[in-house]
Amino acid sequence: MNRQTMSKLSLDRILQSQGFGTRKYCRELIADGEVSIAGVVHDHFKELIDTEGLVFRIFDEEWEYREHVYLCLNKPANFECSRKPSHHPGVLTLLPEQLSWRDVQPVGRLDHDTTGMLLMSDDGPFIHAQSSPKRHIPKVYVATTAELVTDELVTTLLSGVQLHDEPAPLSAQTCVRLGEYQLQIVLEQGKYHQVKRMLAAAGNHCSALTRTAIGQLQLADLGLAEGEWCYLSAQQLSLLIPDA
């Protein structure tokens, strides 16, 4: 089977794979003439369509076919990184419904009150690889503290602090004072509540926390306001790969 044949799918399967609902509903959309490609209505659900470079329109909105989606969300406070949130709205409510139908999931978690860069995808191996501590992917946080940021605090975080449920001390990869009550801390481990717990163990307290970068991908470069999201390009995804 050649590449061209492998890239062709029936129109109803394409719509279902892109998150437009059940196969039955997608067939109804097609039969109702709601699907067009390059200005031409396609109303036969069995029609084979080449997915490579495919752009289609539904309800006058344009969509690009994507085998998998890779997103970055600038997470606001008071949203939970869970498909079944318990106390606050889930981050999936900030995305179009089609992405939720695709089973998009957060890559790791941020606390409900932590803001900033959150990766999301429907690609299981990608989620696993990005979440694995074995990858040693640096994550950059800016923490606002309740007490003054002292030289001693920075030194302690770089030297390592002992958390009660960890076998060995945890240390920051880098730690830089940004202001009297603010510091930038880079971690690789990704433990539960790690920044907050490390600051507490070092004798301070985290009053606000935001993640500004993962690997070499900077949130500031994406131009996202809080609550906004974007698709990540292949070049942007490459910035998530740690240096060899």
**CA dihedral of 87, 75, 211, 144, whole degrees rounded to 10:** -60
Give the pLDDT score at 243: 54
Nearest to 210 by CA among 192, 228, 196, 189: 196
Contact residues for 158 (Cβ-Cβ < 8 A; gap 6+)? 171, 172, 174, 175
Q: Which of 43, 60, 103, 111 is catalytic?
A: 111
- What is the CB-side half-sphere exposure of residue 119 using CA atoms within 13 A? 26
In the chain, the N- to C-terminal Cα span, in Å, equals 36
Distance, in Å, from the CA atom of 219 to the CA atom of 118, rounded to the nearest integer, reads 9
Phi, psi of 195 (to 5 degrees): -60, -50
Total H helices, total E strands in the chain: 8, 15
Annotation says 111 is catalytic: yes
Nearest to 75 by CA among 108, 102, 123, 101: 108
Residue type, 157: L
Give the pLDDT score at 81: 87
- pLDDT mean values, one per 10 residues, the chain (244 residues): 62 95 94 94 94 93 94 95 81 90 89 94 91 84 95 93 84 93 91 88 93 95 96 93 59
140: enclosing H helix or E strand: strand 139-145
**pTM of the prediction?**
0.88
Distance, in Å, from the CA atom of 230 to the CA atom of 207, rounded to the nearest integer, reads 28
Distance, in Å, from the CA atom of 237 to the CA atom of 78, rounded to the nearest integer, reads 27
Domains and CATH numbers, the chain: 3-64 (3.10.290.10), 70-133+217-238 (3.30.70.580), 138-214 (3.30.70.1560)
Distance, in Å, from the CA atom of 41 to the CA atom of 194, rounded to the nearest integer, reads 53
**CA dihedral of 147, 149, 150, 151, whole degrees rounded to 10:** 160
Phi, psi of 54 (to 5 degrees): -70, 130
In the numeric block, which tokens belong to residue 7?
A: 């890239």
Nearest to 106 by CA among 143, 63, 70, 66: 70
Phi, psi of 49 (to 5 degrees): -125, 135
Give the pLDDT score at 55: 95
